[in-house]
Chains A and B, each alone.
Chain A
Amino acid sequence: MHWDTVINLLVSAGLEISVLVIVSIGLAVIFGMMGIINLAHGEFLMLGAYVTLSATRAGLNLWLAMLFAALVVGLFGVVIERLLIHRLYGRLADSMLATWGLSLILAQGVSYVFGPSTQGIATPLGNVRIGAYSISAYSFVLIGAAILMLLLVLWVFKRTRYGTMARAATQLPAMATAVGVNTKRINMWTFGLGAGLAGLGGALLAPLAGVTPSMGQAYIARAFMTVIVGGTGVLTGTSAASGLLGGIQYLVSYLSNPFLGQGALLILAIVILRLMPTGLSGYWGRRL
Chain B
Amino acid sequence: MNVLRTRTGLGLAVVVLVLLAAAGLTGLAPEYRLLNWTSWLLYGLVALSLTWVWGQAGIFSFGQAAFFGIGGYAYGIVAINLQPFTGETFSAVLIAVIVAALAAALLGYFMFYGKVGDVYVAIITLATSLVLLTFVSSTSDPSYHIGKALLGGYNGMVGVPPFSFGGTPLASGAFFLVVAVAAIGVFLLLDGLRRSPFGRVVIAVRENELRTQLLGYDIRRYKLVVFAIGGAVAGLAGAGYAAWALFINPVVFGLQQAALVVIWVLVGGRGSYLGAFVGAALVQALSLSLGGEGGGVTPIILGAVLILVVLLLPAGLVPSIARRVWRPRDEKIGKLPEPAVEPDILAGTGGGTPLLRTEQLARAFGRVRAVNGVDINFEGRGVHVLIGPNGAGKSTFFNLLTGRHRPSAGRVFFGDVDITRSESFARARRGLGIKLQVASLYNQLSAFENLWLAAYSRVSDKRRATQRAVDMLAWLGLLEQAHEPAGALAHGQQQWLEIGMVLVTEPSVILLDEPTAGMTREETARTADLIRTLGVWRLVIVVEHDMEFVRRLDVPIVVFHQGQVFARGGLAELQRNDEILDIYLGRGGAEHVQAG
Contact = CB atoms under 8 A, between A and B. Distances in A.
Contact of B262 (A97, A224, A270): A97
Residues of A in contact with B, size category: 35 or more
A230 to B, nearest CB: 12
B143 to A, nearest CB: 12
Contacts of A273: 110-111, 114, 116, 120, 124
Nearest to B131: A266
Contact of B127 (A31, A96, A225, A259): A225
Interface in B104-138: 107, 110-111, 113-120, 122-124, 126-128, 130-131, 134-135, 138
A94 B310 contact: yes
B300 A108 contact: yes
Among B118, B123, B124, find the residue whose CB has the most chain A CB atoms closer than 10 A.
B123
Contacts of A259: 134-135, 138
Contacts of B256: 104
A84 interface: yes
Nearest to A88: B310
A90 interface: no
Contact of B128 (A101, A266, A275): A266
A104 B124 contact: no
B276 to A, nearest CB: 16
Contact of A108 (B113, B122, B127, B303): B303
Among B113, B135, B254, find the residue whose CB has the most chain A CB atoms closer than 10 A.
B135
Given A92-B119, A104-B303, A274 B131 contact: no
B47 to A, nearest CB: 14
B120 A101 contact: no
A217 interface: yes
Nearest to B311: A87
Given A217-B130, A275-B114, A102 B123 contact: no
Given A97-B310, A100-B259, A273-B114, A266 B366 contact: no
B91 to A, nearest CB: 29
Interface in A73-110: 84, 87-88, 92-94, 96-98, 100-105, 107-109
Nearest to A39: B126
A93 B117 contact: no
Contacts of B60: 93
B518 interface: no
**Is chain B's binding surface mostly helix, strand, loop or mixed?**
helix
A84 B304 CA distance: 12
B114 A262 contact: no
Contacts of A274: 110, 113-114
A37 interface: yes
A82 to B, nearest CB: 14
A220 B254 CA distance: 12
B123 A37 contact: yes
A115 interface: no
A220 B128 CA distance: 12
Among B113, B254, B266, B307, find the residue whose CB has the most chain A CB atoms closer than 10 A.
B307
Nearest to A270: B110
Contacts of A35: 119
A105 B314 contact: no
Among B60, B118, B126, B304, find the residue whose CB has the most chain A CB atoms closer than 10 A.
B126
B525 interface: no
A108 B402 CA distance: 52
A228 interface: yes
Contacts, number: 115
A31 B304 CA distance: 23
A100 B300 contact: no
B300 A104 contact: yes
B286 interface: no
Contact of A98 (B120, B128, B131, B310): B310
A228 B119 contact: yes
A277 B122 contact: no
Contacts of A88: 310-311
Contact of B122 (A87, A93, A98, A265): A93
A278 B119 CA distance: 11
Nearest to A225: B127
Nearest to B255: A217
A93 B61 CA distance: 10
Given A108-B303, A270-B110, A262 B116 contact: no
B302 interface: yes
Nearest to A279: B120
A226 B149 CA distance: 35
Interface in B365-416: 366
Contact of A228 (B123, B130, B314): B123
Given A94-B310, A225-B127, A101 B117 contact: no
A263 interface: yes
Contacts of B127: 221, 224-225, 266, 269
B299 A108 contact: yes
A118 to B, nearest CB: 15
Nearest to A101: B306
A205 B273 CA distance: 44
B126 A101 contact: no
A109 B296 CA distance: 10
A259 B138 CA distance: 8
A100 B300 CA distance: 11
B119 A37 contact: yes
A228 B135 contact: no
Contact of A102 (B116, B117, B307, B366): B307
B580 interface: no
Contacts of B266: 97
B304 A101 contact: yes
Contacts of A228: 119-120, 123-124
B404 to A, nearest CB: 15
B23 interface: no
Interface string B268-291: 000000000000000000000000
B299 A104 contact: yes
B255 A101 contact: no
Nearest to B128: A266
B305 interface: yes
A177 B346 CA distance: 48
B367 to A, nearest CB: 12
B151 to A, nearest CB: 12
A271 interface: yes
Given A259-B138, A263-B131, A271-B110, A277 B306 contact: no
Contacts of A31: 119
A270 B111 CA distance: 8
Contacts of B120: 228, 273, 277
A117 B118 CA distance: 37
5 contacts: A92-B119, A225-B127, A259-B138, A270-B110, A277-B116
8 nearest interchain CB pairs?
A101-B306, A104-B303, A221-B130, A105-B303, A274-B114, A101-B307, A108-B299, A101-B303
Interface of B: 60, 107, 110-111, 113-120, 122-124, 126-128, 130-131, 134-135, 138, 254-256, 259, 262, 266, 297, 299-300, 302-307, 310-311, 314, 366
Given A108-B300, A262-B134, A277-B116, 17 more contacts: A97-B306, A100-B259, A100-B303, A101-B307, A102-B303, A102-B307, A103-B303, A104-B259, A104-B299, A108-B303, A221-B130, A224-B126, A266-B131, A270-B124, A274-B110, A274-B114, A277-B115
